[in-house]
Amino acid sequence: MSKSPRARLEALVWKHTHKDFKGVIDGVRHCLHLNTQRGGTESWPLSSFTVEQLIDKLPSKVRDSDEVRALLASLPPKTP
């Protein structure tokens, strides 16, 4: 069974994030996130990020790749 588009996007973010900015806590993958409301960085589970935040975490070269475009096309449409 293949991974969902969301899971594949999270895997790409994990792969392209430097080891100093990611970690595993209780078996859950976390990445650092800049929280502008609190004025600092926080460790967030990848599942807590929105699709837009995950895309922003990718390097531009990866973000503009055909693989990511295909993933975005396969995600369900965003509801307002």
Q: What is the pLDDT along the chain (80 residues), one digit of tens a residue?
A: 568 889 999 999 999 999 999 999 999 999 999 999 999 999 999 999 999 999 999 999 999 999 888 888 888 877 66
pTM recorded for the entire structure: 0.84
Split into its structural domains, the chain has a count of 1
Per the structure block, which two tokens stand in for 69? 């475009």
Per the structure block, which two tokens stand in for 66? 């055909």
Q: What values do phi and psi take at 8, rounded to 5?
A: -70, -35
Confirm whether 19 is domain-assigned: yes
Rounded Cα distance between 55 and 62, Å, is: 9
Confirm whether 80 is domain-assigned: no
3-state secondary structure of 35: strand
| H or E element at residue 43 | strand 40-45
Q: Which domain holds residue 55?
A: 5-72
Q: What's the pLDDT score for residue 78?
A: 72
Confirm whether 20 is domain-assigned: yes
